[in-house]
Chain A
Amino acid sequence: MGEFLSLREAVARYVEDGQTLALEGFTHLIPFAAGHEIIRQGRRDLTLVRMTPDLVYDQLIGAGCASKLIFGWGGNPGVGSLHRMRDAVENQFPRPLEVEEHSHAGLAERWRAGAAGLPFGVLRGYVGTSLADHTKTIASISCPFTGEELTAVPAINPDVGIIHAQQADRDGNVMYWGITGVQKECVLASRHSIVTVEEVVDEFAVRTGGVVLPSWAVDAVAVVPGGPHPSYAHDYSDRDNDFYAAWDPIARSRDAFTDWLAGVVEVKP
């Protein structure tokens, strides 16, 4: 049931050390505030799942929250590398990071299978690439009807899935629109889910391309205006491209990152 909680309460109730966690949102609607709350609560040994780790996972990895990353594209969009992620992979700093690497098409199938309650998904993918040599969760399978060789990937079913939406209504139903990514699959595939929202409204307007997740499919709703900054919420905020550029020198330097982290930990929501 979409129970209204503060973000602090929601993370404290559902997020535990050692879990598999997904914070989804495809460039748009990335739940940054929730990531910062997980850092503040000092969670450790998390397996983090995301199609595009983006800055939110660079921050969680740099803060030492993660021991494993499942991902498809780990860059700072339009800027360059994720340097905290690279420091973890290349130098095991601040701790070693195991990576499980896929393509976006493969991860999308893993999300669909997770949401559908199936053990694996099927696609035409990875063939001829080096990915299958290094990622155990890519396997060949024969179609039982045609004999065609296809690729199987296991379902993703995180302990907790976290997304950001534009609106909740007073019953805890949530609605988001614009670029909708894999958020529906993330919520439905996860054992528990937390949705941060820009605001609570009396009634949803009809919106082209709008996605509504019914209250009973969600565990917690937290009102966090601006929760996706420096990502954005369509019709509420613009992507802060300057922050993405400014992140590069912060993440390149362990000291600059430590200073940034101190600012996050001190903020009391």
Chain B
Amino acid sequence: MSIDRRNGQWTSDEMMAVAAARELADGVVCFVGIGLPSTAANVARRMHAPNAVLIYESGCIGSRPDHLPASIGDGVLSETAVANVGVVEIFSYWLQAGRIDVGFLGAAQIDRFANINTTVIGAYDTPKVRLPGAGGAPEIAANCGEVIITLPHSRRAFVEQLDFVTSLGHGAGPGNREQLGLRGRGPSAVISDLCVLRPDPDTKELNLTSVHPGVSVDDVQSATGWELAVADELAITPPPTAEELAVLRELKAAS
């Protein structure tokens, strides 16, 4: 549900997309998931990150879509790509070999260490809800230099205990990724429609570092299924600028 928090000027979904876009630095090579991550990455490319290289798992390298792709295999991704390669190659030569700086993922459920579930709610063999499954996410989460995750906030999504770990974030805490031999550094930010969370450098637990305008710490806590750690210096996310909103809305209108 998109909540209008600023007298009709922008919605919390727009704040989420814009805040996620700001995470993507110019010039990075980014493996983009479909949906929210793709929206954010394309806003970033039109704003502050014109030299970001967007890679989609359908084998499209350096795509510059003029509208938001409806699927990971949208024709606009291949037509505007610098190179098109097969799916075996994109995962093996490009992702696994360590050529990607940032993985940009969505999620159905996330825990305090930014581990992700997109597989099942309930027991695996007798699921309450069967979700789509892994897709490219486990190896994106494992092999990209860092990972940015974006998903709407709710107690159903931000849970104390995942029923299934589809993609590893910081695992059980500090040192876990290194023990498992994972090459990427793991999640660096989680962007929701309420706030920004970042892993504490020591504990690796997600800390609330910034609340979006009009959102209180209590709002975030009541939408989170665990006792939230709050950073000492809590920021307020700058609201979307007129330009950011124009770019986001133009992209959406073209889609």
Total interface residues on A, CB under 8 Å, equals 54
Per-residue CB proximity of A178-193 to B under 8 Å, as 1/0? 1111101100000000
B74 at the interface (CB under 8 A from A): yes
A195 to B225 alpha-carbon distance, docked (Å): 50
B127 adjacent to A111 (CB under 8 Å) = no
Of residues 113 through 144 on chain B, the ones whose CB sits less than 8 Å from some CB of chain A are 119, 124, 127, 129-139, 142-143
Given A73-B133, A181-B58, A181-B59, the answer on whether A127 and B84 have CB atoms closer than 8 Å is no
Please, which residue of chain A has its CB at the minimum distance from the CB of B182? A127
Q: Specify which chain B residues have a CB less than 8 angstroms from the CB of A173 in the assembled complex.
A: none
Given A101-B133, A105-B95, the answer on whether A179 and B77 have CB atoms closer than 8 Å is yes
B91 adjacent to A104 (CB under 8 Å) = yes
A26 adjacent to B58 (CB under 8 Å) = yes
Total interface residues on B, CB under 8 Å, equals 51
A77 to B106 alpha-carbon distance, docked (Å): 13
A209 adjacent to B84 (CB under 8 Å) = yes
Q: Specify which chain B residues have a CB less than 8 angstroms from the CB of A263 in the assembled complex.
A: none
A-B CB pair tally, cutoff 8 Å: 175
Contact of A71 among B74, B133, B165, B183 (CB under 8 A): B133
- How far apart are A234's CB and chain B's nearest CB, in angstroms? 6
- How far apart are B201's CB and chain A's nearest CB, in angstroms? 20
B3 at the interface (CB under 8 A from A): no
Given A28-B73, A108-B87, the answer on whether A103 and B134 have CB atoms closer than 8 Å is yes
Q: Specify which chain A residues have a CB less than 8 angstroms from the CB of B181 in the assembled complex.
A: 124, 127, 148-149
A179 to B58 alpha-carbon distance, docked (Å): 6
B167 at the interface (CB under 8 A from A): yes
B242 at the interface (CB under 8 A from A): no
Interface stretch, picked from A2-10, A11-19, A78-86, is A78-86
Could you show 30 A-B contacts with beta carbons less than 8 Å apart? A27-B73, A28-B58, A28-B75, A72-B134, A74-B130, A75-B132, A75-B133, A77-B73, A78-B34, A89-B127, A90-B127, A103-B139, A104-B87, A105-B136, A123-B139, A124-B143, A125-B139, A127-B182, A128-B177, A128-B182, A129-B138, A129-B167, A130-B166, A178-B78, A179-B78, A181-B59, A182-B88, A184-B86, A234-B78, A244-B70
The interface of chain B, by Cβ under 8 A from chain A, is: 34-35, 57-60, 70-75, 77-78, 84-88, 91-92, 95-96, 119, 124, 127, 129-139, 142-143, 164-168, 171, 176-177, 180-183
